[in-house]
């Protein structure tokens, strides 16, 4: 019964994924039916060959609930690589079919090649000035930038080009830009350098896992480099001019380590936030939950050697003396991953980061916290814990709930990067949480709250999820408030909020128009979870429904909007469409606005495009 319940959960999520990416036109119904028939064939092959291990039979095997965050290319490479012995009886077509069935994507070998630049294209030229080098625009993660885009010319924005990530169903690697080149990663196991003017591919480099973060461009006396992490816990140092991998460092001190938060580089040291997918393993009643602990790792730029690791839980998990209902010993404290890019406070020699929930009970006293560590050695200087006792994993979603912690959530992480601002000569730390709270903390008083403001009811995708922005007067935060399995009752208040930086008083709120009733897209949602960006007199953000909004940051007035959840195949040779905007935020530089669209995960709208808008003269 337990196994059937887990399969049922996976099937529900997978079917929702497929439907969210399916065409809406009635003319496409025959292809959908054919697709469903094909899916049943590969469902049977998968159940006969794979479920015995991936439903909990082998503890180190990724649980089937995690497959939807993997690409078809990744699964296929695994079947032809480390799993080749287990897949020996499968034909090449069956391997492709299984890969596409369990991920909802397409393998890239069945698609046209991307548009490579011509041989006479200008060579890559990088400039440290007027560039966008990492997640938060600056060391303080303000996500505010100067550009030529203002309320006076924003209505002149026109779509210039579209880049389609081959075989992808999700686009969430925020692009970094320098000179004439854009650096961005894909779900399809490639890192790309794109020509900024045309969007053609200058080079691409194969990696071992999905790239979910913003690449860091680093300028130094030793040369210029790209640093980026992947879903398999690998950190890459890449030559930005050729795409050559200079070194690859596995950071898998735990078998479930993944790199989601964007790395930061300063003074020849790389700072890497550490998260994991062990939260999903909790769905397996025979898995010993849990052993991961998050943190920040510091490594040398030169060779990737480790300098120190500052764990969010100082001591390793140990036996609690309790057993789950399968008789397996429970370990704690565990979890407390770091999903966000760390924030530098150079004047205090500190690094700030936010943490997620614990994976087992009793929860660590560092879950759902803002933590300050010494930049030189990683020693914890202070901790502000917003809520104690938050322990959750995927076991809480299945009938047996063998590994569901006693505390059972609410899973209200600090997922967004902490923002360091200066408001009227007073330094303030802003932190947003999935509970719907925004916190203003005092860095001069060990993170003591200056004010706390709740602007959403909260949820698994927020509340406040992936990022805020500030102009050193106000703090701007997005709210999703998605109603998922009715766990968080009460009225939802999705939108974009402006709060006074000193007092937390509401300046204004923008409520997006609910257009979901106008179409047939399953799981359409007007919530805004992705990071925001501000420039000049504008604040910009996008929603789960694919709409991109540009507002006057002083009044909240909607000035410009664009529906990205449409077909863009007329722009590319590769099938391309937009979908939900999630995780990464808009990138603004000079006359251009760049945004990813598509996020097929948990029922969101799938897509595979990077869009470039430009002010037209």
pLDDT of residue 384: 99
Residue 27's SS3 state is: helix
Contact between residue 46 and residue 7 where contact means Cβ atoms under 8 Å apart:
no
Omega of the bond leading into 232 within 30 degrees of 0 (cis): no
Query: What percent of the chain lies above the pLDDT cut of 70?
Result: 87
Which segments of 50-189 are extended strands (E)? Answer: 144-145, 157-164, 176-178, 181-185
Average pLDDT over residues 427-446: 98
> Tokens representing 278?
């062990």
pLDDT tens figures, 494-519: 999 999 999 999 999 999 999 987 76
Q: Which of 73-77, 115-119, 327-331 comes out lowest in average pLDDT?
A: 73-77
Spans of all domains in the chain: 2-110, 255-412
Average pLDDT over residues 132-145: 97
Q: CA 595: distance to chain centroid?
A: 14
Q: What are phi and psi of 74, to 5 degrees?
A: -65, -45
Q: What are phi and psi of 523, to 5 degrees?
A: 60, 20
pLDDT tens figures, 253-311: 999 999 999 999 999 999 999 999 999 999 889 999 999 999 999 999 999 999 999 99
pTM of the entire predicted model: 0.89
pLDDT tens figures, 204-224: 999 999 999 999 999 999 999
Assess whether pLDDT exceeds 60 at residue 122.
Answer: yes
Average pLDDT of the chain is 89
CATH for the stretch 255-412: 2.40.10.480
Q: Report the candidate in 404, 409, 408 with the shortest Cα–Cα distance to residue 322.
A: 404
Residue 394's SS3 state is: helix
């Amino acid at each position: 019964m337990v196994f059937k319940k887990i399969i049922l959960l996976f099937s529900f999520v997978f079917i929702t994924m497929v439907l969210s990416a399916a065409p809406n036109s009635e003319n496409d119904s025959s292809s959908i039916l054919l697709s469903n028939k094909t899916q049943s064939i590969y469902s049977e092959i998968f159940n006969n060959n794979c479920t015995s291990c991936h439903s909990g039979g082998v503890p180190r095997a990724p649980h089937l609930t995690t497959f939807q965050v993997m690409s078809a290319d990744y699964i296929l490479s695994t079947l032809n690589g480390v799993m080749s012995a287990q897949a020996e009886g499968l034909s090449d077509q069956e391997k492709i079919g299984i890969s596409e069935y369990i991920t909802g994507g397409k393998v890239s070998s069945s698609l046209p090649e991307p548009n490579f630049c011509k041989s006479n294209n200008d060579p890559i030229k990088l400039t440290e000035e007027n560039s966008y080098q990492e997640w938060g625009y600056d060391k303080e993660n303000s996500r505010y930038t100067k550009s030529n885009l203002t309320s006076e010319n924003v209505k002149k924005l026109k779509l210039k080009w579209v880049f389609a990530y081959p075989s992808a169903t999700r686009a969430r690697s925020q692009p970094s830009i320098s000179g004439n080149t854009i650096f961005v990663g894909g779900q399809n196991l490639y890192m790309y350098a794109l020509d900024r003017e045309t969007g053609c591919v200058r080079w691409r480099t194969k990696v071992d896992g999905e790239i979910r973060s913003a690449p860091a461009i680093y300028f130094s006396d030793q040369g210029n480099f790209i640093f980026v992490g992947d879903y398999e816990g690998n950190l890459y140092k890449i030559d930005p001019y050729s795409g050559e991998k200079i070194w690859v460092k596995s950071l898998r001190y735990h078998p479930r380590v993944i790199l989601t938060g964007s790395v930061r580089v300063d003074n020849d040291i790389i700072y890497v936030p550490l998260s994991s997918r062990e939260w999903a393993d909790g769905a397996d009643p025979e898995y010993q939950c849990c052993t991961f602990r998050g943190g920040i790792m510091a490594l040398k730029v030169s060779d990737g050697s480790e300098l120190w690791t500052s764990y969010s839980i100082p001591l390793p998990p140990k036996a609690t003396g309790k057993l789950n209902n399968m008789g397996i010993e429970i370990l704690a404290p565990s979890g407390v991953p770091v999903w966000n890019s760390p924030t530098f406070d150079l004047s205090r020699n500190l690094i700030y980061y936010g943490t997620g929930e614990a994976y087992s009970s009793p929860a660590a006293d560092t879950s759902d916290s803002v933590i300050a560590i010494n930049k030189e050695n990683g020693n914890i200087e202070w901790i502000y814990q917003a809520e104690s006792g938050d322990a959750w994993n995927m076991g809480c979603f299945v009938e047996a709930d063998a590994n569901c912690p006693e505390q059972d959530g609410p899973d209200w992480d600090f997922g967004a990067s902490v923002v360091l601002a200066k408001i009227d000569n007073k330094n303030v730390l802003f932190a947003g949480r999935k509970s719907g709270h925004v916190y203003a903390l005092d860095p001069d008083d060990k993170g003591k709250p200056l004010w706390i403001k709740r602007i959403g009811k909260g949820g698994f995708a927020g509340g406040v999820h992936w990022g805020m922005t500030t102009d050193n007067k106000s703090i701007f935060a997005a709210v999703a408030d998605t109603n998922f399995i009715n766990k968080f009752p009460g009225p939802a208040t999705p939108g974009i909020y402006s709060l006074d930086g000193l007092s937390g008083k509401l300046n204004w709120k923008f409520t997006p128009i609910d257009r979901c009733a106008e179409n047939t897209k399953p799981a359409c949602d007007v919530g805004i979870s992705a990071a925001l960006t501000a420039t000049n007199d504008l604040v910009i953000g996008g929603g789960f429904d694919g709409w991109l909004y540009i507002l006057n940051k002083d009044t909240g007035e909607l000035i410009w909007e664009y529906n990205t959840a449409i077909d863009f195949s007329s722009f590319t040779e590769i099938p391309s469409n937009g979908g939900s905007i999630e995780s990464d935020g808009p990138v603004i530089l000079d006359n251009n606005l760049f945004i990813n669209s598509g996020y097929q995960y948990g029922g969101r709208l799938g897509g595979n495009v990077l869009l470039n808008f430009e002010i037209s003269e």
